[in-house]
């Protein structure tokens, strides 16, 4: 039945707005006045939440002759990538105009302000606004204070909020204080991956294979579940560890991630190789120093290791360092061999990085050389901290967070290349 739907969906003319059954139901609910003050579209990844939320938001904004509207993402650039650009694709650049440098857009001629929720200045900016409507992309990533302030700004009669989110842990503020609060005027629209008939069946099967454990429950099943126990139960030495001098496929790029140690933590450099087309990831070398004798010592070790690694892996081009230690980064920059650029690591949220690693492990595209025993050990022993009401990996000295950080810095930039949607 589903395959039939998929076929029909792909043979429809491009310009026609074609919706999934659940998306049609949302439009029907909206048009028949069933939407509430707060409307939250939540559930699995790629399930069609953003697409339909865009359609509804534009219908909502378009109803007003005059009104004040705000759209927020975790950052302006994620808002642009996740929502504004798809909006232009759906309605065309005659109907949707983007002026992101001015933090504004026009939706069917109506002015809409744009903000990044993670920016402290944005919080001050929205403090003075009186809104008719707000749109939030990936709401669970916003701070609770920002969101409650945003709600206090939705004070005009008939004002509405439209938000999309993936599930998080059940103790997350959004679940506890909003989705589970029967006193609120809130419509909870739940989406699951199989609802999206526009996705290729193979793509869905791949996604299902890639997500494991708590991430499968959240991102594939769309459930709000807690992260408990081992972070990487899917890491198996027999599958994921390769012999030190095993013959490798040709590498197209190698990078090094650097985590700087402190009093109790280690300094780690981790070298990761990527095959052509980013089809597989090989962690091949590590330098682990728990003593942290002095900065000079560390700089000397970096010079020596990097020059050796550059000879062994000529495709080594980038080093991504923990940006917390700018003086060390500067010294590393001057100590790097020719052809190797030293940059700051992005340091994406830990959950984003963990998710990326789990997807690579789940799809059997990540391999670690036995010459990296600390990282192997770290994958085997990393635990979720169950004492917290949000996802956190345990950092009480029992597991090796430093090796995980260094590895993650070496791969985190390549999410687009590794997971092409």
Ligand X SMILES: Nc1ncnc2c1ncn2[C@@H]1O[C@H](COP(=O)(O)OP(=O)(O)OP(=O)(O)O)[C@@H](O)[C@H]1O
Question: Measured from the CB of residue 351, what is the shortest distance to ligand X in angstroms?
Answer: 14
CA distance 214 to 49: 21
Is 18 a binding residue for ligand X by CB under 6 A? The answer is yes
Residue of 164, 212, 331, 357 interacting with ligand X (CB under 6 A): 164
CA distance 244 to 260: 25
Q: Which is nearer to ligand X, 50 or 331 (CB)?
A: 50
Question: Measured from the CB of residue 197, what is the shortest distance to Mg ion in angstroms?
Answer: 17
- Are 105 and 97 in contact by the 8 Å Cβ rule? The answer is yes
Residue of 39, 122, 140, 196 interacting with ligand X (CB under 6 A): 196
Give Cβ neighbours of residue 387 (< 8 Å, ≥ 6 apart).
none
Question: Measured from the CB of residue 60, what is the shortest distance to ligand X in angstroms?
Answer: 17
CA distance 387 to 396: 12
Is 39 a binding residue for ligand X by CB under 6 A? The answer is no
Q: Is 176 exposed, middle or buried (0-12, 13-18, 19+ CB in 10 A)?
A: middle
Is 47 a binding residue for ligand X by CB under 6 A? The answer is yes
Question: Measured from the CB of residue 330, what is the shortest distance to ligand X in angstroms?
Answer: 38
Is 198 a binding residue for ligand X by CB under 6 A? The answer is yes
The residue nearest Mg ion at its CB is 50
Residue of 20, 44, 47, 50 interacting with Mg ion (CB under 5 A): 50
Is 49 a binding residue for ligand X by CB under 6 A? The answer is yes
The sign of the CA dihedral 66, 71, 76, 80 is negative
Show contacts with ligand X in window 266-305 (CB under 6 A). none
Give Cβ neighbours of residue 361 (< 8 Å, ≥ 6 apart).
212, 232, 234, 235, 240
Give Cβ neighbours of residue 87 (< 8 Å, ≥ 6 apart).
54, 58, 96, 107
Is 46 a binding residue for ligand X by CB under 6 A? The answer is yes
Question: Measured from the CB of residue 136, what is the shortest distance to Mg ion in angstroms?
Answer: 11
Strand partners for 287: 269
Q: Which does 196 bind (CB under 5 to 8 A by kind): ligand X, Mg ion, none?
A: ligand X
User: How many chain residues touch Mg ion (CB under 5 A)?
Assistant: 1
Is 51 a binding residue for ligand X by CB under 6 A? The answer is yes
Question: Measured from the CB of residue 84, what is the shortest distance to ligand X in angstroms?
Answer: 13
- Are 411 and 257 in contact by the 8 Å Cβ rule? The answer is yes
Q: Which is nearer to ligand X, 6 or 413 (CB)?
A: 6
Q: Which is nearest to 298 in space by CA: 309, 288, 308, 284?
A: 288
CA distances to 193, 241, 343, 345 from 318, rounded to whole Å, are 36, 24, 7, 10
Residues of the shown chain interacting with ligand X in the complex, contacts defined by CB under 6 A: 18-20, 23, 45-51, 164, 166, 191, 196, 198-199
Residues of the shown chain interacting with Mg ion in the complex, contacts defined by CB under 5 A: 50
């Amino acid at each position: 039945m589903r395959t039939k739907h998929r076929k029909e969906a792909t043979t429809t003319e491009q310009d026609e707005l074609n919706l999934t059954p659940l998306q049609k139901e949302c439009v029907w609910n909206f048009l028949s006045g069933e939407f509430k003050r707060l409307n939250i579209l939540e559930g699995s990844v790629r399930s069609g939440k953003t697409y339909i939320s865009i359609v509804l938001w534009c219908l909502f904004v378009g109803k007003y002759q005059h009104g004040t509207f705000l759209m927020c993402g975790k950052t302006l650039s994620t808002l642009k990538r996740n929502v504004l650009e798809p909006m232009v694709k759906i309605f065309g650049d005659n109907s949707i105009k983007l002026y992101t440098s001015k933090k504004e857009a026009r939706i069917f001629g109506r002015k809409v302000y744009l903000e990044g929720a993670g920016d402290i200045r944005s919080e001050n900016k929205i403090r003075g606004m009186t809104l008719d409507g707000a749109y939030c992309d990936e709401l669970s990533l916003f701070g609770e204070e920002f969101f409650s302030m945003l709600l206090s700004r939705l004070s005009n009669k008939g004002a509405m909020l439209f938000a999309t989110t993936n599930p998080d842990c059940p103790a997350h503020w959004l679940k506890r204080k909003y989705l589970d609060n029967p006193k609120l005027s809130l419509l909870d629209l739940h989406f699951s991956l199989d609802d999206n008939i526009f996705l290729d069946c193979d793509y869905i099967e791949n996604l299902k294979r890639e997500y494991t454990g708590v991430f499968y429950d959240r991102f594939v099943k769309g459930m709000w579940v807690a992260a408990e126990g081992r972070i990487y139960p899917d890491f198996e030495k027999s599958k994921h560890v390769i012999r030190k001098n095993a013959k490798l496929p040709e590498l197209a790029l190698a990078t090094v991630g650097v985590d700087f140690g402190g009093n109790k933590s280690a300094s780690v450099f981790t070298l990761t190789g990527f095959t052509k087309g980013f089809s597989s990831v090989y962690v091949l070398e590590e330098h682990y120093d728990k003593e942290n004798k002095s900065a000079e010592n560390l700089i000397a070790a970096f010079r020596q290791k990097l020059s050796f690694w550059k000879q062994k892996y000529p495709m080594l081009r980038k080093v991504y360092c923990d940006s917390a230690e700018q003086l060390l980064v500067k010294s590393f920059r001057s100590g790097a061999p020719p052809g190797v650029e030293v940059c700051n690591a992005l340091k994406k949220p830990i959950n984003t990085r963990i998710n990326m690693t789990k997807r690579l492990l789940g799809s059997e595209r990540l391999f670690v050389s036995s010459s990296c025993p600390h990282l192997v050990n770290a994958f085997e022993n990393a635990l979720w901290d169950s004492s917290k009401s949000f996802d956190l990996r345990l950092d009480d000295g029992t597991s090796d967070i430093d090796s995980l950080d260094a590895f993650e810095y070496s791969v985190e930039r390549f999410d687009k290349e590794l997971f092409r949607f």
